[in-house]
Chain A
Amino acid sequence: MSTTATTSEPLRQETAQQRDRATTIFEKGAPGRRAFVAPAVDVPAADPTTLLPQSLRRSEPARLPEISEPEIVRHYVNLSKRNFDLDSGFYPLGSCTMKHNPRLHERVAGLAGHARLHPFQHPSRAQGALELMWRLERALGEVSGMPHVSLQPSAGSHGELAGVLLSKAYHADRGEQRTKVLTPDTAHGTNPATVTMAGMEVVKVGTNADGGVDVEDLRAKADESVACLMLTNPNTLGVFDANIAEIAEIVHGVGATLYYDGANLNAIMGVTRPGDMGFDIVHFNLHKSFTQPHGGGGPGAGPIAVSDRIEPYLMDPRIVRNDDGSFDLRSGHEKSIGRLRGFQGNYGTFVRSYAYICSLGAEGLKDASETAVLNANYLLAKLGDAARHLPLAYGRLCMHEFVLSGAPMKRELGIKTLDLAKRLLDYGFHPPTVYFPLLVDEALLIEPTETETRETLDAFADAVKAILAEAADDPEIARNAPYTTPVRRLDEAGAAKRPIIRQPL
């Protein structure tokens, strides 16, 4: 760091946590220490090398830690304290829907009947699980306005892959080789990446002055070579595209399918439904709208819902209810695209999301969406005083999230969106999503969710204003932030240039 004295200098007192340098589990313990006690060989012992020939055996044990249970516990508990988390603080992370994770869900997912159920258990002895999945499918179908659901995909990106492959299979079955998929320039990165993985070509569609799809651009690009348009509505600008009916007409007019990226479903539950807007394929992020905890980056689940014309191609196996009311898994559907993963999907996630839907019911889901939109608009209004430096990118009101541009702040106060984000860490907040969507300069994408209180939203708005005021005095404070976190700004470029991705042993 520069040794030039600035007003941020007093902030650089090293905290206790910062003094505690990172040591990995591989650097702890000592030869001979252990936690696990192996069961005795209680069967007549045979010569191990006759059971497994030496030539197939490992010559040296894998260099795993040699460490006692108390050391393991202390190591990981101390590591956990170097994380920020939703249970302890506000996470206004746009497009991520960081809503409260009810503890009930952990309790019910942990019941042995769910948690210790083997995925190859015969369906006749897994009736509770199959019924739960069947009911969750019905509920997601109702929320989306779509008749058929598969819970199988493991994440939103996995659901997108399912959707694009389904679209490909649909066209192929009609004898058409369509090669292009349209995505708006506001789309999540997973949309174009998925299209490439599915062997198709991405064609970008522009955004109009209101933040919606540029309908004229769409009309120009939509032709018989287009398989699908992938859309998020409300989109990543927090704008509901009011032209959706016209968009659907254009897309369907050239025989293409319409795909709904459900990342932003939390804005519209019980208010409007993708099925009623004309979408053919929808994916849900159970870890967003339906409260599966994010786990520091997984697990999640990305079920999909489809219209009648896409149904024949859905993944195997499907859950069916027999005439006698029992449930079963059925595979071998002639036109199915097959499997996207092993077994039946992330069942533990289904248990949590199903419990959530049971708790809220129809009324509660709608209330959740309305409150999410209320909270977002309230926070936007509270940030009104800061609008000179952080203007709203599009429109006047928003749905469940909104995008500010940090461009005037950068120009007039000399701090970038990144600096504001890093300074928010010192104020105890997780920053918003930054530099996304790409078409807004110095973007901040803010999504408060419905489970935050008005007081929290006020405190966050105050923190943003305080940082702007600080920057007007001395931009160096934000430029060098954070100061109080377990580590300060990290050399990411250096990490990529000379990758160290495992502990040298």
Chain B
Amino acid sequence: MSTYTATTDADRQAMLAEIGVSSVDELFDSVPAALRLDRPLDLPAGLPEQDVYAHLRDLAARNVSAEDELTFLGGGMYDHYVPALIDMLMSRSEFLTPYTPYQPEISQGGLQVMFEYQTAISELTALPVSNASVYEGPSAVAAAGYLAKLARPGRTKFVVSGGVHPHSVETLRTYAFGFGAEVVVVPLVDGVTEWGDAVDDDTAAVFFQNPNFLGAVEDAEALAADVAPAGPVVVAAYDPIALGILKPPGECGVDVCVGEGQPLGNRLDYGGPSFGFFAATEEHLRRMPGRIAGETTDVDGRRGFVLTLQTREQHIRREKATSNICTAQALNALGGVVYLAWLGREGLVELGEVLLQRTHYARERLCEIDGVEPLHTQPVIREFAVRLPVPVQEVVEACAAEGVNPGLALVEDNALLVALTEQRSRADIDRLVDTVRKAVAR
């Protein structure tokens, strides 16, 4: 077995003597005998490091990763290139191993990263208030629901676009079962959101996603303006990469903008850990969930950073807190802000424009295949859905056999949700098209 303790038998004897007991067992005297586990835990024996490595490597080898196939999977997480400097910075002891910055004098590095991250998210979204991140995307949508419930007391309904990621809708429903709200989903019309008459004076919040789950760009300004007379909190989930070229939500009448941060310099990691971003208008500053870093000065007048507005938080306010969330996803948010600095002001725009061109090319080429047609014809930036003439699962399996993962199967629509990143070149897209063509023709 491996051990990460240093205590030798001699240490133990000396320590027990210092404590004034004769055995380690005696230290557990307060645990009633009837509750003691009278056998060893039923777990395999511990292993030396090299054997654990081999076992974990064997498990990894039984997964087909983005390294092993040409993948067009998306649907919320995307295989962007993660620059090497992010690996280096995220694995530095000084960022990897500290606790939450409860002692600001020795946590200025982490606190300043949070402050910079908040600045970057405010810039991306054009919303003045960002927290230091939350768990991930879908639970950020649900957390926005709780904020809306606090902001619009007495209202009981959430109206949710059918273009919101299904995991976000399900998470919102779970949270709403707790704090009490009805979730009404309005179906998409030709790939985009139409509220119809679903929004009324009892609507605490509306939710849409941009680009939506099917990749379509929503007219955020129109969606916010449509519901303005009823006065719900307007919540939108955005793909942060698309914000390089999309009109920012803060200029569209959106009150709370959330999203999955993984595309910003974080690994796929089979779904996590990543981070969720959470930004809002000034009105909601004191209702924000989670940590917020703020600038201040020390006793000698030096610039410094602290966790601020903590009277919102659970460790101070307990049952009156604006959320139960304890920490942020500080390490993952570090990856996010470093990625945005690495892309830079022009780079984020250029990335968006390249994705826009390649995505349209891919959609056009796929739709040249007999029987393949777009699920909608709305503008798309990095992801789109096409309906197939043969069962989608069969196409996915046939492509997989050729080393191509053509995208996410949307079984209900018999469609394929195809996503691009800068790692998928024209040659890759052409290979996708050829592989899908063969699969469809079989």
Query: Which residues 332-347 in A have Cβ within 8 Å of B in the complex?
Result: 337-347
CB-based contact B130/A80 at 8 Å: no
B58 and A88 form a contact (CB under 8 A):
no
Contact A77/B89 with A35-B344, A347-B272 known, Cβ cut-off 8 Å: yes
A397 close to B27 (CB less than 8 A): yes
- In the assembled complex, A208 has its CB within 8 A of some CB on chain B: no
A268 within 8 A of B: yes
Asked if A122 is an interface residue, CB under 8 A from chain B, the answer is yes
Does A128 belong to the interface (CB within 8 Å)?
yes
Q: Within the assembled complex, what's the spacing in Å between the Cα atoms of A420 and B122?
A: 38
B18, B60, B100, B170: the one contacting A297 at CB < 8 Å is B100
Query: Of A154, A382, A482, A491, which one neighbours B139 at CB under 8 angstroms?
Result: A154
Q: Is the CB of B273 within 8 A of A349?
A: yes
A88–B317 CA distance with the chains assembled, in angstroms: 33
A341 CB contact (under 8 Å) in B28, B32, B113, B171: B171
Do B34 and A245 touch (CB < 8 A)? yes
> Lowest 7 A-B CB distances belong to which pairs?
A113-B60, A343-B271, A361-B46, A295-B331, A299-B273, A128-B62, A119-B271
Q: Which of A389-444 contact B (CB under 8 A)?
A: 395, 397, 399, 421-422, 425, 430-431, 433, 436
Query: A450 CB to closest chain B CB, in angstroms?
Result: 5
Contacts of B441 in A (CB 8 A): none
CB of B319 within 8 A of CB of A299, answer no
A194 and chain B: residue at smallest CB distance? B324
Determine the distance from Cα of A113 to Cα of B181 in the docked complex, in whole angstroms: 40
**Pick from A24, A155, A348: contact of B326, CB under 8 Å:** A155
Q: Quick one: which of B107, B275, B285, B300 contacts A84, CB cutoff 8 A?
A: B107
Among listed A38-46, A217-225, A470-478, interface-contacting one: A38-46
B357 engages A117 (CB within 8 Å): no
Partner of B6, one of A297, A397, A453: A453
Q: Mark A61-103, 1 if CB is under 8 A from B, else 0.
A: 1111111010011001101111111111001010010111110
Query: Could you pull out 23 A-B pairs where Cβ atoms are within 8 angstroms?
Result: A82-B109, A84-B103, A114-B269, A117-B66, A121-B64, A121-B65, A128-B62, A143-B41, A156-B326, A157-B324, A193-B319, A272-B35, A295-B330, A296-B107, A338-B177, A339-B174, A342-B76, A361-B47, A371-B7, A381-B18, A488-B298, A489-B105, A491-B299
Query: B64's contact among A53, A125, A244, A431, by CB below 8 Å, is which?
Result: A125
Proximity bits, B46-85, A CB within 8 Å = 1, else 0: 1101001101111111111111100101111101000101
- B369 sits at the interface (CB 8 A): no
State the CA gap A126–B75 with chains docked (Å). Answer: 17
**Whose C-beta in chain A lies nearest to the C-beta of B333?**
A298
Contact of A88 among B93, B327, B331, B351 (CB under 8 A): B93
Which of chain B's residues has its CB closest to A373's CB?
B27
Chain B, residue nearest A380 (CB): B19
A189-B316, A346-B271, A494-B296 are known; give 12 further A-B pairs, CB within 8 A.
A35-B342, A64-B343, A119-B271, A154-B136, A341-B167, A342-B137, A360-B1, A373-B28, A399-B27, A490-B306, A495-B296, A501-B293
Interface string of A46-70 (1 = CB under 8 A from B): 1010011101111101111111010
Q: Are B174 and A421 closer than 8 Å at their CB atoms?
A: no
Q: Which residues of A contact B1 (CB under 8 A)?
A: 359-361, 363-364
* A84 lies within 8 A of B268 (CB): no
- Cβ-based interface call for B178 (8 A): yes
B132 to chain A, nearest CB (A): 7
Residues of A within 8 A of B77 (CB): 118-120, 343
Q: Which of B2, B130, B167 contacts A502 (CB 8 A)?
A: B130
B245 near A490: Cβ-Cβ < 8 Å: no
- Assess the B24–A374 pair: CB atoms within 8 A: yes
Nearest CB of chain A from residue B87's CB, rounded to whole Å: 8
Chain A residues, Cβ within 8 Å of B320: 196
Is the CB–CB distance between B63 and A129 below 8 Å? yes
- What is the bound-complex CA distance between A33 and B343, given in angstroms? 11
* Interface residue count on the B side (C-beta < 8 Å): 208
- Give the total of A residues in contact with B, Cβ under 8 Å: 208
- With A120-B75, A272-B31, A339-B138 as contacts: A61 and B346 at CB distance below 8 Å: yes
Nearest-CB residue, chain A, relative to B120: A64
Residues of B within 8 A of A242 (CB): 30-32
Q: Tell me which residues across on chain A come within 8 A of B158, comparing CB atoms.
A: none
B418 to chain A, nearest CB (A): 12
Among A40, A62, A359, A486, which residue has the most Cβ atoms of chain B within 10 A?
A62
Q: Which of B46, B268, B304 contacts A359 (CB 8 A)?
A: B46
Q: Which residue of B lies closest to A101 (CB)?
A: B97
Bound Cα distance A269, B20 (Å): 24
| B47 in contact with A366 (CB, 8 Å) | no
Contact of A113 among B63, B174, B426 (CB under 8 A): B63
Whether B225 sits at the interface, judged by CB under 8 Å, is no
Cβ–Cβ contact A501 & B294, under 8 A: yes
CA of A73 to CA of B324, assembled, Å = 35
User: What residues of chain B lie closer than 8 Å to A88, measured between beta carbons?
Assistant: 93-94
Residues B356 and A48 in contact, CB atoms below 8 Å apart? yes
- Residue A127 interfacial (CB < 8 Å): yes
A178 and B395 CA atoms in complex are apart in Å by: 50
Query: Do the beta carbons of A56 and B219 come within 8 Å of each other?
Result: yes
Chain B residues whose C-beta falls within 8 Å of the C-beta of A111 in the assembled complex = 56-57, 60
CB neighbours of A107 from chain B (8 A) = 53
Q: Which B residues lie within 8 Å of A128 (CB)?
A: 58-63
Q: Does B15 contact A (CB under 8 A)?
A: yes
Report the bound CA distance from A22 to B298 in whole Å. 12
Q: A342-B260, A502-B128 are in contact. Are A38 and B347 (CB under 8 A)?
A: yes
Cβ–Cβ contact A341 & B138, under 8 A:
yes
Contact partners of B3 in chain A: CB under 8 A:
360, 364, 367-368
In this complex, the member of A1, A100, A496 whose beta carbon has the largest number of chain B beta carbons within 10 angstroms is: A496
A505 within 8 A of B: yes
Considering the complex, give the chain A residue whose CB is closest to the CB of B181.
Answer: A199
Report B263 CB to chain A, min CB distance, Å.
Answer: 12
Name which of A158-166, A249-257, A303-311 contacts chain B.
A158-166
Interface residue? B291 (CB, 8 A) = yes
Q: In the complex, are the beta carbons of A377 and B106 less than 8 A apart?
A: no
Query: Which chain A residues lie closer than 8 Å to B247 at the CB level?
Result: 55-59
Complex Cα distance, B68 from A144, in Å, reads 37
The reply to whether B327 and A86 contact each other, CB–CB distance below 8 Å, is no
Interface contact A382-B18, CB-CB below 8 Å = yes
The interface residues of chain B lying within 8 Å CB-to-CB of A43 are 357-358, 360-361, 426, 429
**Bound-complex Cα distance A240 to B31 (A):** 7
A117-B36 CB under 8 A given contacts A76-B89, A91-B99, A359-B46: no
A131 CA to B36 CA, complexed, in Å? 30
Complex interface residues of chain A between 352 and 382 (CB less than 8 A to chain B): 354-355, 357-368, 370-371, 373-375, 377-378, 380-382
Q: Which residues of A are found within 8 Å of B124, using beta-carbon distances? A: 62
A-contact 0/1 string along B149-190, CB 8 Å cutoff: 000000000000000010110110111011110000000000
A184 within 8 A of B: no
Interface flag for B368 (CB, 8 Å): no
Bound CA–CA A36/B354 (angstroms): 13
Please tell me which one of the listed residues B36, B71, B379 contacts residue A56 in the complex, with CB atoms under 8 A apart: B379
Q: A52-B356, A116-B79 are in contact. Are A195 and B108 (CB under 8 A)?
A: no
How far is A445 from B334 in the complex, measured between Cα atoms in Å? Answer: 29
Q: Inside 8 A of A270's CB, which chain B residues have their CB?
A: 37, 40-41
Does A347 lie within 8 Å of B95, measured CB to CB?
no
Which residues of B from 244 to 269 have beta carbons under 8 Å from A? 244-248, 260, 267-269
Contact A121 B174 (CB under 8 A): no
B59 contacts which of A64, A67, A132, A490 (Cβ < 8 Å)?
A132
Complexed CA–CA distance, A56 and B247 (Å): 6
Residues 304-343 of B at the A interface (beta carbon under 8 Å): 304-306, 308-311, 313-321, 323-332, 334, 337-338, 340-343
Report the bound CA distance from A39 to B356 in whole Å.
Answer: 13
Cβ of A487 under 8 Å from chain B: yes
